[in-house]
A and B are shown apart, each in its own frame.
Chain A
Amino acid sequence: MLNTAPSKTGVLSPEKRTQLRKRWLTAMLMAAPFILFYLLFLIYPTLRVIQLSFTDADLAGNGVWVGLTNYTKLFTEPTFWTALLNTLYFILLTVVPNTLVGLGLALLVMRLKRLRNLAMAAFFLPNVLPVSVVTSVWNWVLDSNFGLVNYLTGSTVTWFQDPVWAMPAVAFVTIWWTVGFNVLLFIAGLQNIPPELYEAAALDGASGFRLFRSITWPSLWPVTSLILLLQLIAQFKIFDQIYLLTTGGPFDKTLVLLLYAYREGFQQQHGGYSSAIGVVLMVIILVVSALQAKLLNRGGR
């Protein structure tokens, strides 16, 4: 795909040469604006974060080389491990559940005919809400005194301030917010399964769960694995909902990696140390992304 048809080798006429130069110039003019922003605001910070992580820089970027100090401090700092474990806990509570709920809803939606689009819209709608709208709505629904949930269940739990419930509550809100994305992807996957497969299996007498196990699930696996990995990448970067619902509390019970980096960097002015957290996060995400790329290539895209 990337093989460019090479220009004819050998001696080039002056006209051909100017034509090639003109073409090169046009290409550069077209590519340059994006490439410029891309290099300045994505690639440069990505390289710079590595360099900063070896310094004691503040938030103005001034600091001196300190070698591996930030990393040794990081790996011996209990708060870092708390943040890492909390992130993994959040992943445990969201990635697989969100995928399964998405699959279940997609299977249900697929059985509808006239109301299919309506149901799909209902599950996807939360997805287009700004995160702060999502959190304020759920802060209200789960309000400990006047919230609907506690009224209906007679509970008095302060969901987002409770050491045990805070993280599951954030995970629940996250699933409500984002599952529609998975539903869309699963529906696309389900629609791509040739009906003949089901017909053939039906002739063989398969039905219900056996159809699902022998046809639906294997055919969906590429989509399922894509969703799992997209979720995994997204949830490692979890910040917004946590910051807005719990600010990491109570007692750091919901402190996650990015929030820890934010606290250290923007609140404590520890730019270098915060960069080290960023590097750790980036390495994790790049590893997961590499997995994703491998997987997508295997899918033949």
Chain B
Amino acid sequence: MTATINKSTTTKPPAPLSVRLSRLWGGVITALTLVLAAAWVFPMYWAVVTSVKPDDETVAAPPTLWPQKFDFSSYSYIFQNSPIVRWYINSVLTAVLITFLVLLLSILCAYALSQINFRGRTWLYWLVLAGFMIPFQASLIPLFIFINKLGLVNSYTGLVVPQLAAPIAVVIYKQFFDQVPHELGDAARIDGASEWRVLFGIFLPLNWGITVSLGIVTFIAAWNNFLWPFIVMNDTAKLTIPVGITQIQSAYGVAYAKTMATAVTAAVPTVVAYLIFQRRVTEGVMATAGLK
């Protein structure tokens, strides 16, 4: 009979050979996991390190793991010689606006679908669910034609509005609102509170957690969105940063420090958001995947 099956056991038996072997094995596995984790992060580390090296050091024959000489001129160069600051502002504004609107529209629609008895509710919910599976990428051509007809090509409105059409947040909010005990809303309604007050006074505060999670996940997705901003914007100054950096990198050629500086700059907000709100992001990802 083997002594330890459950490796996470913390009891301290007299430690026969099999136990010591399994501890050794556990140590090896732990080390392997940490090495893999380090390897996963390494390309990002390498990008950051490259961006603060002088150009000649980036291509030096034995590559230097740590810069022999720190050189931040790539950053000052890209900030002075490209519209990167402008792109940054574009990205911040559009991503924040998209996040706010997605949450607001979804909360309102989900509340109506979840809490108000009205004619056509079932039908409306099916309509929303139907769009759940539709890939917007398949209808890029008519979307572009339509946005063009509205005169919104190359405009921030044209960039933002198609990103408000995805029903996922509505479906998630409806599930969360469905779980709120009926008595809470009914008590307030009897006291004469309007549906708006019930929503913003009771349901939203009760679901603050998922709101924060969805907000961060939506922000990251909006910041990272590539395909639609790439298609709808043709004025260089109006690009978002993930699209913008692809336009200048080719001009830098072998100036790898500059290329990496643009990449690092573009990644900062989402990486910081993730590192600060790790648990919230996990929660949001689970919700969007249909788990929980």
Residues of A within 8 A of B (CB): 1-2, 4-7, 23-24, 26-28, 30-31, 33-35, 37-38, 40-46, 48-49, 52, 57, 59-61, 105, 108-109, 111-113, 115, 117-119, 121-126, 128-133, 136-141, 143, 145-146, 148, 151, 176, 181, 184-185, 188, 198-199, 202, 205-207, 211, 223, 226, 230, 233, 237, 239-240, 244, 258, 261-262, 265-266, 271, 274-275, 278-279, 281-282, 285-286, 289-290, 292-293, 296, 301
Residue-wise interface mask of B (1-20) relative to A, using a CB-CB cutoff of 8 A (1 in contact, 0 not): 11001111000000000000
Q: With A4-B121, A30-B112, A59-B145 given, is the CB distance from A38 to B128 under 8 Å?
A: yes
For the residues of B in contact with A, the DSSP-based class is helix
Residues of B within 8 A of A (CB): 1-2, 5-8, 26, 29-30, 32-34, 36-38, 40-41, 43-44, 46-47, 50, 58-59, 63, 105-106, 108-109, 111-113, 116-119, 121-122, 124-125, 127-128, 131-146, 148-149, 161-162, 164-167, 170, 178, 194-196, 199, 220, 223-224, 226-227, 231, 241-243, 245-246, 249, 254, 256, 259-260, 262-264, 266-267, 270-271, 273-275, 278, 281-282, 285-286, 289-292
- Please name 27 pairs of A and B residues whose Cβ atoms are closer than 8 Å in the assembled complex, sorted by A: A7-B117, A26-B116, A28-B112, A30-B195, A31-B108, A34-B108, A35-B127, A37-B164, A40-B146, A48-B145, A59-B145, A59-B148, A61-B145, A115-B30, A123-B37, A125-B40, A128-B220, A130-B241, A130-B266, A131-B224, A133-B267, A136-B260, A184-B282, A198-B6, A239-B227, A265-B140, A278-B138
Count the A-B residue pairs with Cβ separation under 8 angstroms: how many? 307
Q: With A30-B108, A205-B1 given, is the CB distance from A111 to B33 under 8 Å?
A: yes
Decide: B270 and A130 in contact? CB cutoff 8 A: yes
**Measured between C-beta atoms, what is the minimum distance from A126 to chain B in Å?**
7
Decide: A35 and B291 in contact? CB cutoff 8 A: no
Nearest B residue (CB) for A241: B226
